[in-house]
Structure 1
Amino acid sequence: MSRSKNLAILIGNVGQDPEVRTVGTGGRVAQFSLATGKQWTDAQGNKQDATQWHRCVAWNQGKYTLADIVEKYVRKGEKIYVEGEIEYRQWQDKDGQTRYTTEIRVRELMLLGGKSEGGEVKQERPAKTTRPNTTERADDFPAALMDDDDSSLPF
């Protein structure tokens, strides 16, 4: 039998404050966009930048209150680590057109801190994840994963 894995790991900046709502079943869901970027030098020696936007969705499920954590702690511009599954959905809009979306269904997230608007470094906060009793902090990550050059991001 073949094994498979659907895993997305992203480190980026939140593009807008999360939208949190309650669904018909009483559950809560938080949605936010996350920007990841890359830089390279083209054949002419010019520095190039590209930003990818990812739609992230976090649910409260059972004893895990991930949507509540997102609502309380995640803000536009924050650098975060997100781990989850890639989901593809389709639905019919009110005009009968089929619509498609790709989302990251968040299972874990970690606030990584970073620069405030005034350029000073914010104090790092403990990790906020779906796992209880997790004590990881941002400084547990190698420096290569936390590039503080956010000049190419549009916020």
Structure 2
Amino acid sequence: MNSISNYVQLIGNLGRDVEFRDLDNGNAMARVSMATKEVFRETGGSKRVETTWHYLIGWGKVAEMMQVFLKKGSTVVVQGKLRHQLVGEGDKKQLRTEIVVNEFRLMQ
């Protein structure tokens, strides 16, 4: 059995350009959103497309590579792990699921 217990791989399109930051501690961070689509057949035979948005985050060298190669609209394969994080303040806090990117590949 595979020893990796938190692993995700997605193929989708980037919804915006990468937001990149050099942090005060010397680390780099990159964020971007990615859409995946799933097609369903309705009872009458018509198609229904469902889009799901995912939040991607990369750190260090991965973040630097994301900044260079990833652009809005790019089709990308990403591999990483899921991370849940509370965002917002006070009563407005929400749980957000992010994919921490370990590696990615542009699709041509």
**TM-score under structure 2 length normalisation:** 0.89
CA change 1:44–1:79 in 2 (3 A) is same
CA change 1:38–1:108 in 2 (3 A) is same
Compute the RMSD of aligned alpha carbons. Answer: 1.5
Provide the residue aligned with 1:41 in structure 2.
41
Identity of aligned pairs, percent? 30
SS at match of 1:16: coil
CA change 1:73–1:100 in 2 (3 A) is same
Provide the residue aligned with 1:69 in structure 2.
65
Q: Which amino acid aligns with 1:105?
A: V
Unmatched 5+ stretches in structure 1: 114-155
CA change 1:91–1:40 in 2 (3 A) is closer
Q: Give the whole-Å Cα distance in 2 for the aligned partners of 1:105 and 1:83.
A: 8
- Please say if 1:78 is aligned against 2:74: yes
Q: How much has 1:41 moved relative to structure 2? A: 1.2
Provide the residue aligned with 2:86 in structure 1.
90
CA change 1:92–1:74 in 2 (3 A) is closer
SS at match of 1:104: strand
Q: Which amino acid aligns with 1:108?
A: E
Provide the residue aligned with 1:57 in structure 2.
57
Provide the residue aligned with 1:26 in structure 2.
26
**Relative contact order (alpha carbons < 8 A, sep ≥ 6): 1 or 2 greater?**
2
Q: Give the whole-Å Cα distance in 1 for the aligned partners of 2:9 and 2:20.
A: 22
Q: Which amino acid aligns with 1:20?
A: F
Q: Number of paired residues?
A: 105
Runs of 4+ in 1 over 4 A off after TM superposition: none
Provide the residue aligned with 1:105 in structure 2.
100
Higher-Rg structure is 1
Q: Give the whole-Å Cα distance in 2 for the aligned partners of 1:4 and 1:14.
A: 26
